[in-house]
C-alpha cells in the first residue's frame, strides 16, 4: 500500500517505560535503549516511526545530563534512524520539582526544572537531532488541593506558567500544557481553557491534546459540572461522540501545539505512583470507543475542514501499558498502523 503523506512525522513516546513503573508494587522500569529498539523495529508497509518523544528524568534522560551525555543520547537516537521531538520537563515534587501553585520554594523548584528541560531541549536542537517539538509541562498539583481555593490557585499556577514562558523564550522553546484530569487547574476542559487564557502567552504556551485524556474531558471526570456529554451517554453512537468532540475541540484546538494519537475505553487507570487518569488502550482494543483516524480529525482540521498544520509531528503515548504488552513487536506495529491511518487521512506532503 502506498502512503503519500510525509507529515506530520510519526513518533513513539519513550516514557511509558518509566511512568507508573519502578516503585514498590509496580512493574520494573524498561530502559531507554529497549524503548528505542522497539520503536525502530516497528514497520507497516515499509513505513517506520520517524522519532521519539522523551521524558527528561533518569534512568532515561537525566535532567542534569552533561553536554557529553546529551551527545551520546543524540548519537544513539540517530543510530536507529530516529529523531527527537517533544520532551517532558520533570516538574513534579517526586522528580525534583514542586507544585506550580505551591510555596515560593516549591515554585522555584518547579521553574528550575523547566529551565533545565529547556536547556536540554535547546542543546538537542543544536545537535540537529531535534528538528521540532515542544517542552511539556503541567501544574504538578492534585485536583483536591487545587479545589481548596480554585480562584487563588489558578491565578498562582498562571503566574508560575508565565515565568516558565519567560524561561522557554530565553531558550527559543515553546511550552505545551498537558490536559489531564489528574492535574489541578487543568482537570477539565473549562479549567484548562481558563488557565491558558489567564496566562495569555499563546505564542509560547499552548495545549497538548492526548486523545485518551481529552475523551475524559467530555465525560467530566473530576469535574462533573464541566461535562460536555450527559451521564450515561452512548459513546458507541457516532453522532453523540462527534457532537461532544466538536464542542471540545472548538475551544481547545486553537491552543493545541502538541498532539498524542491514542485510544480510550472511557475509563480511568493508574499504576505505581501515577494517579488515575484517562486509560491508554491498545490501538486494536475492542473496547475502545474512538474511531482513531476520524476522531483525530477534530483536532487536526479546523471547523471548515482545513488542516491546521499546527505541529510537525504527532506521538503515541502508551503510558501505563503492561510491560508484557510493550515487549511485543506486534503492539508497536499496530500502533504505527493506527498513526499511519491518521496521517493518510489528515496529513500532507512537504
The domain ranges of the chain are 9-346
So what's the pLDDT on residue 271?
Answer: 59
Beta carbons within 10 angstroms of residue 213's beta carbon: 27
Q: Which residues, in sequence order, are bridge partners of residue 329?
A: none
d(CA 29, CA 17): 6
- Residue written as grid cell 487545587: 146
d(CA 142, CA 97): 14
Give Cα separations from 261 to 51, 157, 193 (angstroms).
Answer: 14, 27, 21
d(CA 67, CA 122): 11
So what's the pLDDT on residue 280?
Answer: 85
Q: CA nearest 181: which of 276, 54, 43? A: 276
Cell numbers standing for residue 321: 501499558
- Residue written as grid cell 520517524: 50
Which residue pairs from 220-224 have beta carbons closer than 8 angstroms and sit at least 24 positions apart in sequence? Answer: 220/188, 221/181, 221/268, 221/278, 222/143, 222/181, 222/182, 222/187, 222/188, 223/143, 223/181, 223/187, 223/188, 223/190, 223/191
So what's the pLDDT on residue 270?
Answer: 53
With beta carbons less than 8 A apart as the criterion, state whether 52 and 82 touch: yes
Give Cα separations from 349 to 6, 251, 268, 270 (angstroms).
Answer: 5, 28, 36, 38
Q: Which fold has domain 9-346?
A: TIM Barrel (3.20.20)
So what's the pLDDT on residue 275?
Answer: 58
Please give the backbone phi and psi of residue 302, each rounded to the nearest 5 degrees, phi first: -80, 180
In order along its 350 residues, the chain shows pLDDT tens digits of 789 999 999 999 999 999 888 878 889 999 999 999 999 999 999 999 999 999 999 999 999 999 999 999 999 999 999 999 999 999 999 999 999 999 999 999 999 999 999 999 999 999 999 999 999 999 999 999 999 999 999 999 999 999 999 999 999 999 999 999 999 999 999 999 999 999 999 999 999 999 999 999 999 988 999 999 998 899 999 999 999 999 999 999 999 999 999 999 988 655 555 556 767 899 999 999 999 999 999 999 999 999 999 999 999 988 878 999 999 999 999 999 999 999 999 999 99
Give Cα separations from 43 to 50, 286, 345 (angstroms).
Answer: 11, 22, 19
Amino acid at each position: 500500500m502506498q502512503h503519500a503523506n510525509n507529515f506530520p512525522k510519526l513518533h513513539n513516546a519513550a516514557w511509558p517505560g518509566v511512568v507508573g513503573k519502578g516503585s514498590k508494587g509496580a512493574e520494573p522500569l524498561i530502559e531507554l535503549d529497549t524503548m528505542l529498539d522497539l520503536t525502530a523495529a516497528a514497520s507497516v508497509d515499509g513505513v517506520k516511526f520517524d522519532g521519539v518523544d522523551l521524558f527528561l528524568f533518569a534512568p532515561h534522560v537525566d535532567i542534569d545530563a552533561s553536554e557529553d551525555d546529551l551527545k551520546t543520547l543524540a548519537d544513539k537516537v540517530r543510530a536507529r534512524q530516529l529523531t527527537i521531538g517533544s520532551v517532558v520537563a520533570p516538574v513534579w515534587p517526586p522528580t525534583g520539582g514542586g507544585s506550580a501553585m505551591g510555596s515560593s520554594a516549591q515554585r522555584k523548584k518547579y521553574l528550575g526544572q523547566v529551565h533545565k528541560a529547556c536547556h536540554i531541549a535547546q542543546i538537542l536542537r543544536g545537535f540537529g537531532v531535534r528538528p521540532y517539538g515542544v517542552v511539556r509541562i503541567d501544574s504538578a498539583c492534585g485536583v483536591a488541593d487545587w479545589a481548596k481555593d480554585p480562584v487563588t490557585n489558578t491565578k498562582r499556577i498562571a503566574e508560575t506558567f508565565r515565568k516558565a514562558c519567560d524561561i522557554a523564550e530565553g531558550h527559543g522553546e515553546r511550552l505545551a500544557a498537558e490536559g489531564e484530569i489528574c492535574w489541578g487547574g487543568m482537570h477539565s476542559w473549562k479549567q484548562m481553557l481558563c488557565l491558558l487564557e489567564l496566562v495569555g502567552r499563546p505564542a509560547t504556551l499552548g495545549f497538548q491534546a492526548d486523545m485518551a485524556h481529552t475523551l475524559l474531558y467530555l465525560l467530566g471526570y473530576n469535574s462533573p459540572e464541566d461535562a460536555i456529554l450527559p451521564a450515561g451517554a452512548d459513546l458507541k453512537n457516532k453522532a453523540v461522540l462527534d457532537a461532544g468532540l466538536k464542542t471540545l475541540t472548538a475551544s481547545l484546538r486553537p491552543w493545541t501545539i502538541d498532539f498524542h494519537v491514542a485510544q480510550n475505553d472511557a475509563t480511568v487507570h493508574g499504576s505505581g505512583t501515577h494517579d488515575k487518569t484517562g486509560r491508554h488502550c491498545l490501538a486494536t482494543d475492542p473496547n475502545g470507543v474512538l474511531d482513531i483516524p476520524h476522531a483525530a480529525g477534530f483536532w487536526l482540521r479546523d471547523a471548515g475542514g482545513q488542516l491546521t498544520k499546527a505541529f510537525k509531528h504527532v506521538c503515541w503515548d502508551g503510558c501505563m501499558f503492561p510491560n508484557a504488552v510493550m515487549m511485543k513487536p506486534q503492539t508497536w506495529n499496530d500502533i504505527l498502523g493506527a498513526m499511519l491511518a491518521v496521517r493518510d487521512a489528515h496529513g500532507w506532503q512537504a
